[in-house]
């Protein structure tokens, strides 16, 4: 049986940007790609890397910096660049660049979303990458979801390791802050969106009684200093609150009848908490607990892929940085590598994930693209 799509993956740990891209080109040679997806460590010389990508790959390309890279066969890696080169006459990718997020929030009409009106919506999906430190994911995605009118959307917030300094998205040979890229795929190939999380709500309620929406900062929970109330709820002392604790004990918010994870980014000197997602006074959160192990949840979630798409050609995956930290804490990276080796997956560790119009944390969101007889 012949294939209607060919995907070749590449990875490089070469520190020189031009040499790294040359290595990717060598690993993906033999096809004329119609689209390129890549994710890279923020440690690269991004100016040189962007130019090398455009010069080397003669096709539309999207990418961003990460909090770690993910690739089938390699697992969860760091300090690298990974890519998927996609060739198919049944697929076209059109990147839509949003160069100024703040301006887009104020007035999205001048931005280039008009092309969506010309698409066959039944044959389209979108991949979305955004500056992970913009704190504008929710208003941006609300406007985009309105324009998409039901077209599936999967995406995530770019990362910067655990430095939280600067995050970048790629467009047309350069990396950009305060920006986003919406890649619109028009294809007759089968595809399905997917999201998995291994937490369920408990009865421990946390009511946000004082918050700053603009900075995603919670000052009071249940009328008490936020850090004290959260620490009490998860059973640790304040001095023990670390990213590993946040990874093990996120909170959940009920949206449209379903619970989604909201994770804490950091503890502030004034006793407040900064979140990865939008937060507001009056919201009722609940402390989350594991419903299963991360490994079991991942295996079960990816097993559904085979049911929905019998011949997966590529899985685009966005996985929260807190899930990576949890894997490290429980020494599960090798086990996860074995699970991923069964699937053609490329992705990255993120500062937040998108599933449709919802911005979430501690979740793996994915788009499964399938093959079909040519």
Give residue 157's pLDDT band: very low, low, confident or very high (50, 70, 90).
very high
pLDDT higher than threshold 70 for residue 118: no
Q: Which two tokens mark 203?
A: 């009865």
Residue 185 to residue 148: CA distance in whole angstroms = 12
Decide if pLDDT at 185 tops 60.
yes
**Tokens representing 130?**
């955004």
Q: For position 243, what pLDDT does the model report? A: 85
What dihedral do alpha carbons 208, 212, 213, 214 form, nearest 10°? -160
Q: Per-residue pLDDT for 110 more than 60?
A: no
pLDDT of residue 374 exceeding 60, the answer is no
Tell whether the model's pLDDT for residue 142 goes beyond 80.
yes
Place 165 in a pLDDT band, splitting at 50, 70 and 90.
very high
Q: What does the pLDDT look like over 272-315, one tens digit per residue?
A: 999 988 888 999 999 988 888 889 989 998 888 888 899 999 99
Q: What integer is the mean pLDDT of 74-95?
A: 96
What confidence score (pLDDT) does residue 373 get? 64
Confidence category of residue 263, pLDDT binned at 50, 70, 90: confident
Q: Tell me the percentage of the chain whose pLDDT exceeds 70.
A: 95
Residue with tokens 């697929």: 91
pLDDT at 124 over 60: yes
pLDDT at 116 > cutoff 80? no
What per-residue confidence (pLDDT) applies to 29?
Answer: 95
Residues 6+ apart with CB under 8 A from 170: 38, 50, 53, 61, 62, 63, 64, 176, 181
Encoding tokens for residue 122?
A: 């039944």
Q: What is the DSSP string of 113-162?
A: -GGGGGS-GGGEEEEEEE-TTSS-HHHHHHHHHHHHTT--EEEEE--BTB
Q: Residue 291 has what pLDDT?
A: 84
Task: Give me the sign of the Cα torsion angle 237, 243, 246, 248.
Answer: negative
- Work out the average pLDDT over 212-222: 93
What is the SS3 assignment for 372?
coil
Over residues 252-277, mean pLDDT: 89
pLDDT of residue 305: 85
* DSSP at 326: H
pLDDT beyond 90 at 365: yes
* pLDDT confidence bin for 22, thresholds 50/70/90: very high
The stretch 113-119 carries a mean pLDDT of: 60
Q: Is the pLDDT of residue 120 over 80?
A: no
* pLDDT at position 114: 60
Nearest-angstrom CA–CA distance, 305 and 194: 8
Q: What does the pLDDT read at residue 332?
A: 92
To the nearest whole number, what is the mean pLDDT of the chain?
A: 91
Q: What is the pLDDT of residues 324-345, one digit of tens each?
A: 998 998 899 999 999 999 999 9
Grouping H, G, I as helix, E, B as strand and the rest as coil, residue 227 is helix
What is the value of pTM for the model shown? 0.90
């Amino acid at each position: 049986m012949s294939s209607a799509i060919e995907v070749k993956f590449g990875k490089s740990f070469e520190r020189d940007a031009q040499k790294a891209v040359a290595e990717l080109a060598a690993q993906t040679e033999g096809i004329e790609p119609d689209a390129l997806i890549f994710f890279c460590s923020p440690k690269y010389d991004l100016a040189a890397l962007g130019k090398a990508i455009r010069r080397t790959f003669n096709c539309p390309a999207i990418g961003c910096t990460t909090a770690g890279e993910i690739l089938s066969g390699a697992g969860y890696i760091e300090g690298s660049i990974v890519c998927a080169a996609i060739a198919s006459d049944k697929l076209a990718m059109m990147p839509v660049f949003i160069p100024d997020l703040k301006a887009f929030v104020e007035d999205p009409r001048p931005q280039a979303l008009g092309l969506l009106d010309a698409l066959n919506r039944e044959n389209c999906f979108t991949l979305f990458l955004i500056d992970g430190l913009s704190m504008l994911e929710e208003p941006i995605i609300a406007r985009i979801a309105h324009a998409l009118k039901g077209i599936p959307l999967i995406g995530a917030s770019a990362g910067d390791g655990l430095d939280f300094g600067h995050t970048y998205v790629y467009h047309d040979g350069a990396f950009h802050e305060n920006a986003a890229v919406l890649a619109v795929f028009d294809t007759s190939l089968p595809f399905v969106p997917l999201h998995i999380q291994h937490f369920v709500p408990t009865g421990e309620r946390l009511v946000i009684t004082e918050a700053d929406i603009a900075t995603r900062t919670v000052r009071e929970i249940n009328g008490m200093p936020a850090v004290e109330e959260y620490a009490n709820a998860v059973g640790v002392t304040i001095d023990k609150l670390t990213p590993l604790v946040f990874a093990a004990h996120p909170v959940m918010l009920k949206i449209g009848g379903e619970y989604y994870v909201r994770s804490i980014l950091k503890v502030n000197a004034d006793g407040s908490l900064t979140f990865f997602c939008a937060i507001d006074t009056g919201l009722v959160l609940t402390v989350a607990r594991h419903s299963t192990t991360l490994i079991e949840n991942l295996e079960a979630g990816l097993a559904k892929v085979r049911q929905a798409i019998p011949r997966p050609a590529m899985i685009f995956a966005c996985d929260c940085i807190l899930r990576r930290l949890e894997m490290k804490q429980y020494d599960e990276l090798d086990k996860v590598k074995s699970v991923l080796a069964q699937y053609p997956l490329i992705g990255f560790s993120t500062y937040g994930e998108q599933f449709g119009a919802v911005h979430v944390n501690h979740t793996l969101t994915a788009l499964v693209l399938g093959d079909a007889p040519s």
